[in-house]
Amino acid sequence: MDTTQRTDQQRSADRRRRELLEAADRVVLRDGPGASMNAIAAEAGITKPILYRHFGDKGGLYAALAKRHTDALLGALRAALDAPAERRERVEATLDTYLAAIEARPQVYRFLMHPSEGGPQGDQGFDVGAYSFPLLRRMGEELADVIEERVDLGPNSQQLARVWGHGIVGMMHAAGDWWLGERPCARADLVHALADLLWGRLSAAGDKAGGPSF
């Protein structure tokens, strides 16, 4: 098989994978954590064995969907951080971007973070933490990189940036999870309260010399 044939086959496989993920998205939007491999296969117009051939099992499909949505969310968070505004405004915009994303697609959020809720019998034993924790870890590392490159935290800046990155993501996740479930206040009120919590040390820190501002 020549290079052109391999390239065409890879493009075809990538396109088919995207189509299957889009079908899975539609089912997740409808069924949330109860989305089953049977329902996803039916939505895609294929049999479950073919779906397994592409993703292995529900864990493989979950990981692919998680990457798809996490990539989009991280892109939106970086855009909020890069917006031309004062630092406090960008902090609030970043918090609001995260909360708006989980509010807009709560079924997707619950599928990614609480995949065992309402799951069918065939999905018992699905390890929530094995898949959801790496998503939060990845977001924490990405935010830590942004903080390290932009904020002058003085001595031991790299370690502090990682502490802040993971701490902020943990705060956003825990507060957002609680808020999405109970809706105790308006989103804007939660954003303002979380920004107040973060603002003490961050307001006093300088920007890194020669680098982008935060």
Using CA atoms, how far apart are residues 139 and 150, in angstroms rounded to an integer? Answer: 17
Higher-pLDDT residue of 205, 70: 70
Using CA atoms, how far apart are residues 92 and 65, in angstroms rounded to an integer? Answer: 27
- Residue 42 neighbours by CB under 8 Å, 6+ apart: none
Is residue 143's pLDDT more than 50?
yes
- What is the tens place of the pLDDT at every residue in 27-52? 999 988 888 889 999 999 999 988 88
Higher-pLDDT residue of 31, 126: 31
Domain ranges in the chain?
3-207
Tell me what the mean pLDDT of segment 120-143 comes to. 69
Predicted local distance difference test score (pLDDT) of residue 124:
46
Predicted local distance difference test score (pLDDT) of residue 176:
96
Predicted local distance difference test score (pLDDT) of residue 100:
97
Q: Give the amino acid at 72.
A: A
Phi/psi at 56 (nearest 5 deg)? 90, -60
Tell me what the mean pLDDT of segment 133-147 comes to. 88
Tell me what the mean pLDDT of segment 94-115 comes to. 91
Structure tokens given for 45: 């117009």
* pLDDT confidence tier of residue 129, bands split at 50, 70 and 90: low
Rounded to two decimals, the pTM is 0.81
Pick the CATH number of 3-207 from 3.30.365.10, 3.30.360.10, 1.10.357.10, 1.10.10.60: 1.10.357.10
Predicted local distance difference test score (pLDDT) of residue 7:
81
Using CA atoms, how far apart are residues 191 and 199, in angstroms rounded to an integer? Answer: 12
Tell me what the mean pLDDT of segment 115-138 comes to. 62
Higher-pLDDT residue of 123, 199: 199
Query: How far is residue 66 from each of residues 61, 91, 122, 124, measured CA to CA in Å?
Result: 8, 24, 21, 19
Tell me what the mean pLDDT of segment 79-103 comes to. 92
Is residue 127's pLDDT more than 70?
no
* pLDDT confidence tier of residue 121, bands split at 50, 70 and 90: very low
